[in-house]
Amino acid sequence: MKLNNKPGHAAADDAPPSGLTACVGRWWHVVQERRPQSGRRVKDIILFYWKELALVHERSSNYTRYTFIPPILPALTRPRHHSLPTLNALSEFLVQLFFNRVLLPSILSSCLQLLARSLSSASTTMSTPRVFIVRHGETEWSLNGRHTGRTDIPLTAVGEKRVKATGKALVGHDRLIAPKKIAHIYVSPRKRAQRTFELLNIGLDEPLPWTRHGESEGEGLQCSAKIEVTENIREWDYGDYEGITTPDIRKMRDGQGYRGTWDIWRDGCPGGESPEDVTRRLDELIKEIRERWHKPVMGKGKDKDQCGDVLLIAHGHILRAFAMRWARYSLQNGPAFLLEAGGVGTLSYEHHNIEEPALLLGGAFVVELDQDN
């Protein structure tokens, strides 16, 4: 075998074989052939073939994350009169190679299959409670984009019709919102939100905590949950911007010398609430929902009569903010999603874990109306 003048490089006609077995044999042959020699040349040859062997071994493994190259190079470069370490090192390498290529893939495959079966079984036997967020139906102000916070205005006829359609499509014991599985209901103090609840076709054991704002169809599907009117889910207080559209607010701010484009998620409303104000009251409500209604049922076996879902009836900005805080995002980031008037969204948890709140993308709906009817 000839070597180039540069140490550590073999001649072209002595390039190592490409096959793993041939490479191991060639490597062993060179080590034995050069053992009588001493000095740097032998170490360079061993180092060259070791690097090539390690590269072939790594590329040939389908489990590169678990590939283990045993540290046998120091043993191979010891003085030549110690032959036992070299033999032991080669044996160790072959054992490790067998483990990596045969045993480890088999073990990993079995473990992954077992884990998949366990997760599949858990997903069908464990209960994950949800929060349904329902935006009130259309009003005159929501129709033309005016910010409606404290102002208490009713739903339009179209708004009522759409909410009724939502109730028929999504509320039922075999549908998205199952009344018998609802543990608690939170409703905004504004009558447009309260009227929306009245039209969802949900019947309660106790009278409503407000005077009805209109007629409803039938008694509704029976639900044993309590209903609570809370300021924590009222609409964002728009302060000086109440009843004004976004384009008009921006024109107003330009005239007042404000720089940049107004964004409620970043700037809030003068005379009303800031993002920090909204965050505080929503975080309080979210904590209550998780501690009081979700933790007691989280991860327990599925029961067709088990109650754990929570229903929120409120407004556009506050429900989008609620979804942001549910997923632990800052309001200043601004939500990249919408919730139309009369729309329904779903929040839950990932991996049946109360520490992993998530938005359920497959559970956001709005029922369209046939304008001819």
Residue 32 exposed, middle or buried by CB count within 10 Å (0-12, 13-18, 19+): exposed
> Which residue in 136, 147, 294, 315 is the catalytic one?
136
Q: Is 64 marked as binding a ligand?
A: no
Instruction: Compute the distance between CA of residue 225 and CA of residue 336 in angstroms, rounded to an integer.
Output: 32
Q: Does 149 carry a binding-site annotation?
A: yes
Find where tokens 């490790």 sit: 96
Structure tokens at 37: 């020699």
Q: Which of 235, 273, 294, 315 is catalytic?
A: 235
Q: Among candidates 325, 326, 341, which has minimal Cα distance to 265?
A: 325
Query: Phi and psi of 33, rounded to 5°?
Result: -65, -35
Amino acid identity, position 314: A
> Over the chain, what HEC string results?
CCECCCCCCECHHHCCCCCHHHHHHHHHHHHHHCCCCCCHHHHHHHHHHHHHHHHHHHHHCCCHHHCCCCCCHHHHCCCCCCHHHHHHHHHHHHHHHHHHHHHHHHHHHHHHHHHHHHHHHHHHHECCCCEEEEECCCEHHHHHCCCCCCCCCCECHHHHHHHHHHHHHHECCCCCECHHHEEEEEECCCHHHHHHHHCCCEEECCCCCCCCCCCCCCCCEEECCEEEECHHHCCCCCHHHCCCCHHHHHHHHHHCCCCCCCCHHHHCCCCCCCHHHHHHHHHHHHHHHHHHHHCCCCCCECCCCCCCEEEEEECHHHHHHHHHHHCCCCHHHCCCCCCCCCCEEEEEECCCCCCCEEECHHHCECCCCCCCC
Q: Is 148 annotated as a binding residue?
A: yes
Let me know if 235 is a catalytic residue.
yes
The answer to whether the beta carbons of residues 56 and 65 sit under 8 Å apart is: no
Q: Which residues are annotated as a binding site for substrate?
A: 148-149, 192
Q: Which residues are annotated as a binding site?
A: 148-149, 192
**Known catalytic residues?**
136, 235
